[in-house]
Structure 1
Amino acid sequence: MSFFNKMLASIGVGGAKVDTKLEKSEYIAGETIRGQVEVKGGNVQQRIDSIYLTLYTTYTREMDDTKYTDRAALYTHKLNEPFTIRAKEEKVIPFALTVPMETPLTYGHTRVWIATSLDIKSAPDPTDKDYIEIRPARIPAAVLKEMQGMGFRLREAECEQAPKRFRGRYPFVQEFEFVPVGGPFAGKLDEVEIIFLSQAAESANLLIQVDRKARGFGGFLEEMLEMDETYVKITIYSSDLSRLNEKLKSLIDKHS
């Protein structure tokens, strides 16, 4: 019977199982995720070589004019040294890991999750998947709020494959597309796109694209040739937050 159970476990039947439980399901970029991994032994004793926790996100990449949804690993954490779990035994292993500052916000179709996998030799690796919501840290939250305060509406937020010149630690960037529905830029701009190129606790590097509204025949030609778009790089520091409205408004106005 024991040999039969071992044979079944080697193909994933009656083997160990894993379940990750988190303290909560919503986090701010830079915050610590705390939880525990519960490992339950199956019908036979098995050696667990390692447990890995990986934070993943989705992003869109384009190939041959076709868009695909891909995934990127943001952070991988090895939780333990090898151990043996007996049949029907239960082990609980606590953990803590920090959400990287550049983790995309879960707006639109973007998803973020923690994947847990047990590395078991000569057997399928049991896995678990826990989706979480990511909310903006202090600086991105202030930028998004000020854009809305200037009369812009967030039309779309999407994680896309990054062009090589803008690629940092990860193969994607998250783009926030705003359209003016009121305020000083209504009628002057088609849209403003903001990309957070990199982030830290006290600063964020932004790429802002200002798309001017076509005016007359010259403006129409500019739009046709995509000359109506201006790209500007800017760094926002925590010390800028008290005058962030003025800083963003001045920059956008200059390139309107």
Structure 2
Amino acid sequence: MVFEKVLRAFGVGGPAVETVLATPDAYPGGELLGVARLTGGEYDVAIETLAVGLVTRVEAEDGDALVEFHRAWVAAGFTLAAGEHQDIPFSITLPWETPLTHAYGKKLSGMSLGLRTELTVEKAVDNGDVNVVAVRPLPAQEAVLAAIERLGFHFRHADVERGAIFGVRQELPFYQEIEFTPPQVVAAAMDEMELTFVADPEGVEVILELEKHGGLWHRAEDRYARLRLSHLEVASKDWALEVESAIRGALPAGAPGLPRDGGMHAPSSFNPR
């Protein structure tokens, strides 16, 4: 995608920048490549810094906000002459905990993530427009997502929430929640399930929150299940069985189990990387 922004810091006749991504698709822990294309205006300009930053919308108690969570410096301390064209390549490595925007062959409703270009000249900053970036699951994350669907859960919504998960080591100041509607067989034990991935160079921590809403005759209750996958062991286990075992261990005694394949199979559009 290409977005062009005339820099407000200089008004009419100022320089312009457009950012071109080599590919809009990316993966947690992977590299995103692109080119910042600068075009000089009607006069020479001393560029102090050129940077790109990853941004996503984060929910908090005081309202939603577009938050930059990772930045890469592209260039600094050079002059862009009047009418000059400069193409400056860059790369930015996504944090392992970067939220997913796509899964099951489609965009996750509720998710948005992009790359913003920032140019600084004489202390004036222009944040420019945002290039949309699609972040797709790592193989370990795909294995869990496929397992959850095999167990009969249906994706509903996803969002990013400010804060930290108790007992989990996080690098970013937020975490993603991917919400699912449970199969009817366990509807009495949970109303929804929320999945959070916390990835790192060795593997992926999987946190499942099983929510039971309050009612006239019972109070609200949340139960938690956790498991961890190594990036190297993705193909070595039946992850539907592993996920089912983790969920079963968190449910109340006597709750019905989750039959694997839950009456359906993962859709054909779900393609591992």
TM-score (norm 1): 0.82
Unmatched segments (≥5 aa) in structure 2: 1-7, 102-107, 252-273
Q: What is the aligned partner in structure 1 of residue 105 from structure 2?
A: none
Q: What is the aligned partner in structure 1 of residue 32 from structure 2?
A: 33
SS of 1:189's partner is coil
Cα separation, 1, equivalents of 2:154 and 2:137 = 17
> Is 1:114 the counterpart of 2:119 in the alignment?
no
Q: What is the aligned partner in structure 1 of residue 228 from structure 2?
A: 235
Cα separation, 2, equivalents of 1:249 and 1:134 = 26
Cα separation, 2, equivalents of 1:127 and 1:193 = 34
Is the CA contact (8 Å cut-off) linking 2:58 and 2:174 kept in structure 1? yes
Q: What is the aligned partner in structure 1 of residue 191 from structure 2?
A: 190
Is the CA contact (8 Å cut-off) linking 1:16 and 1:126 kept in structure 2? no
> Is 1:175 the counterpart of 2:177 in the alignment?
yes
> Is 1:18 the counterpart of 2:17 in the alignment?
yes
Cα separation, 2, equivalents of 1:75 and 1:150 = 35
Cα separation, 1, equivalents of 2:222 and 2:61 = 22
Q: What is the aligned partner in structure 2 of residue 134 from structure 1?
A: 135
Is the CA contact (8 Å cut-off) linking 2:225 and 2:249 kept in structure 1? no
TM superposition shift of 1:138: 1.4
Q: 1:12 to 1:61 in 2, by over 3 A?
A: same
Cα separation, 2, equivalents of 1:141 and 1:171 = 24
Is the CA contact (8 Å cut-off) linking 1:11 and 1:124 kept in structure 2? no
Cα separation, 1, equivalents of 2:223 and 2:28 = 29
Cα separation, 1, equivalents of 2:57 and 2:96 = 16
Unmatched segments (≥5 aa) in structure 1: 1-8
Aligned residues: 235
Cα separation, 2, equivalents of 1:151 and 1:232 = 17
The amino acid of 1:200's aligned partner reads D
Task: Report which stretch shifted further, 71-80 or 44-53.
Answer: 71-80
Q: 1:220 to 1:237 in 2, by over 3 A?
A: farther
Indicate the RMSD between aligned Cα atoms, in angstroms.
2.5
Is the CA contact (8 Å cut-off) linking 2:53 and 2:116 kept in structure 1? yes
Which protein is bigger by CA-based radius of gyration? 1
Q: 1:128 to 1:18 in 2, by over 3 A?
A: farther
Is the CA contact (8 Å cut-off) linking 2:57 and 2:65 kept in structure 1? yes
TM superposition shift of 1:87: 0.6
Q: 1:229 to 1:81 in 2, by over 3 A?
A: closer
Q: Which has the higher helix share?
A: 1
Is the CA contact (8 Å cut-off) linking 1:188 and 1:213 kept in structure 2? no
Q: What is the aligned partner in structure 1 of residue 199 from structure 2?
A: 199
Is the CA contact (8 Å cut-off) linking 1:27 and 1:134 kept in structure 2? yes
The amino acid of 2:226's aligned partner reads K
TM superposition shift of 1:148: 0.3
Q: What is the aligned partner in structure 1 of residue 48 from structure 2?
A: 49
